[in-house]
Chains A and B, each alone.
Chain A
Amino acid sequence: MRTFDWVVLCSAIALVVGYSIRKSRGSKTVQEYMLSGRDARWYTVALSVMATQASAITFISTPGLAYIDGMRFVQFYFGLPLAMVILCITALPLYRRLNVFTAYEFLEKRFDLKTRSLAAFLFLTQRSLAAGLTIYAPAIVLSLILGWNVSIVILAIGALVVLYTTVGGTKAVSWAHSYQMGIIFVGMVSAFVVILISIPVSFGDALRVAGISGKLNAIDFSFDPNNRYTLWTGLIGGLFLQLSYFGTDQSQVQRYLTGQSLTQSRLGLIFNGLFKIPMQSAILFLGAMMFVFYQFTTPPLFFNASETAALAGTSYEAPYKQLETSYQNASQTRAAHLRTMLDASRAGNEAALQTSQTALNASKQELTTLRSKAVALLKEHNPKANTNDTNYIFLNFVIQYLPVGLVGLVIAAILSASMSSSSSEINALASTFVIDIYKRLLKPEASETHYILVTRIATVMWGVAIVLFAQFADRLGSLIEAVNILGSLFYGTILGIFLTAFFIKSVRGATVFYAALVAEVAVILCFWLTSISFLWYNLLGCVLVAGIAYLLQLIFGREFTPLDETP
């Protein structure tokens, strides 16, 4: 990165951190510190909800996914608008009316203390692990650019997030979200424009290249349960995942509980339901266009430069260089065939079109073989080498092809995204720990000042915990998928508890508690022993909790309900 990039990057981050701290000082009550005094307008709620979900992983990993696998990942979000509508009708009015700080408080009111504690425990486990990944993703960016050790970068990002989250609480998080979303928008639009300008063919031809390469395939109607992204996994599995994430995950619940009124909170969620899929489609389309760009410009043989740099000075360096030369030649041949194919297509010359397509397929095959050989070489040199380079594809483009200043801006956007998600997560972890564990179980009677102090200490402690977990996050393949798989292991069970609370009125605390334990074990066994798409875990966990709780209640009735639970 050049000096001007550093100026842009540091200015953007300093602006976000400084301004959010300045705007959020002076919280005197727990409600002010944890729920921003419930004074947010709908657009602040919406931006905060979107910024929390859109982590750096979204911007690093998603374009790479489109580059490799096309746009079908967008189906993952199809359940989100449905979930927003359901939550606006069910959970949101209930949370507002009960005036809760965390979603899990509701469970004690409906069931019992142990069910509330179980749900809070599952959240604290799942979210702290996922938060480690949220911090790890942008750490790769900076470690790649600066040549710094990734652990130091993780520590630096963690410290920055903990600083403003601890000082300003939820208000600082919300203020930061608005500015972070602004930086993210400008950064991603700039990258998109540069990619479009850099493609050496017309926009129409670029679309055709992406289309025939299958990169624009967004909808898959197949019913194969092992197929990770289809219309059905998105609509059904995705609905349950998003319901669970937005309805029961405190990092999101805390965002919309800051709304001035029920109307403001509802409008915030509706806005998210309207704009999330277009936003993800645009990021995936950016990845598809990046793929087109690399059809005419030779891409790196392997996108993770740190792994290839490790070959320098070893006996593997020379064969790798040979592979790189062959890859460059094959790539140029592919570009030539592509141009011939586009010309033939425009001229309506079917014979030339057929010939060029056959030659193009042969080139693609050769490139795939060369890349496989390179990956095998990296693995042979270092059996522990990370051979999944999906997360480096977009970063590589940013560093290589974006003009000075824009590199700093896009890196600022990625950092902003990471900070926005991490701050919500740390904020929610601390709130849940203090409200559902500390205040409820350890010290029920204390002053507001005491609880604010404990929340600040908890914020620092959770910050340290997720920084530690982030150190072990580098072997999880595509990060965005890793986060969602991790979430799906727990979300179904948590959602099952909440849906049972909302809709199966006969079920009591003890039955839902044991049903949740059985369901969680079943989901984890399913993950270990089967290859079923992770989106189905959400449905499975949820159905198991509701079904088993209902059956237990039916079979054992009130005998199963301890005396202290009588209504």
Chain B
Amino acid sequence: MNEPTPINPTNEQPPVFQHWSGWYALVLGTLVTIIILLYWFSRLFI
């Protein structure tokens, strides 16, 4: 087999959120929040 296998999104239902995009948004939102908090924290005590 040389052709790539198509990448299909899974139909498995994730826990808590209705779609996996909910979990992905949580991860990315947490990253942005952490960057903002770290920046704020590093400026706070100068």
Contacts and interface: CB of A to CB of B under 8 A. Distances in A.
The judgment on whether A and B are partners is yes
Contacts, number: 104
Contact of B35 (A78, A111, A212): A78
Label chain A's interface by main secondary structure.
Answer: helix
A546 interface: no
A211 B7 CA distance: 48
Given A219-B35, A219-B38, A502 B7 contact: yes
Contacts of B26: 270, 274
Contact of A81 (B2, B10, B12, B27): B27
A267 B41 CA distance: 30
A567 B2 contact: yes
Contact of B31 (A81, A90, A266): A81
Contacts of B7: 89-90, 93-94, 502
Given A212-B45, A277-B31, A93 B8 contact: yes
A207 interface: yes
Interface residues of A, number: 47
Given A261-B12, A263-B14, A267-B15, A98 B45 contact: no
Contact of A216 (B9, B15, B35, B42): B42
Given A81-B28, A109-B5, A505-B4, A216 B12 contact: no
A388 B19 CA distance: 49
Nearest to A284: B38
Contact of A277 (B3, B15, B34): B34
A281 B42 CA distance: 12
B41 A218 contact: yes
A84 interface: yes
Contacts of B5: 94, 97-98, 109-110
A111 B30 contact: no
B41 A216 contact: yes
Contact of B45 (A74, A210, A273): A210
Contacts of A502: 4, 7
Interface in B21-46: 23-24, 26-28, 30-31, 34-35, 38-39, 41-42, 44-46
Contacts of A357: none
A262 B1 CA distance: 23
A111 B2 contact: yes
Interface residues of B, number: 30
A274 B24 CA distance: 10
Contacts of A353: none
Contacts of A505: 3-4
Contacts of A111: 2
A207 B43 CA distance: 11
Contacts of B8: 93
A85 interface: yes
Given A81-B30, A274-B27, A266 B41 contact: no
A110 B5 CA distance: 8
Nearest to B32: A81
A63 interface: no
A361 to B, nearest CB: 15
Nearest to B40: A219
Interface in A552-567: 565-567
A211 B44 contact: yes
Contacts of B2: 110-112, 508-509, 565-567
B30 A74 contact: no
B31 to A, nearest CB: 4
Contacts of B46: 211-212
B28 A85 contact: yes
A267 B26 CA distance: 12
Contacts of B39: 218-219
A502 B7 CA distance: 8
A219 B32 CA distance: 12
Interface of A: 71, 74, 78, 81-82, 84-85, 88-90, 93-94, 97-98, 109-112, 207-208, 210-212, 216-219, 231, 261-263, 266-267, 270, 273-274, 277-278, 281, 501-502, 505, 508-509, 565-567
Given A71-B42, A85-B24, A98-B5, 14 more contacts: A78-B35, A82-B31, A88-B24, A93-B9, A110-B3, A112-B2, A210-B45, A231-B35, A263-B10, A266-B14, A274-B26, A505-B3, A509-B2, A565-B2
6 contacts: A71-B38, A82-B31, A89-B20, A110-B3, A218-B39, A270-B26
Interface of B: 1-5, 7-10, 12-15, 20, 23-24, 26-28, 30-31, 34-35, 38-39, 41-42, 44-46
3 smallest beta-carbon distances between A and B, as pairs: A211-B45, A218-B38, A567-B2
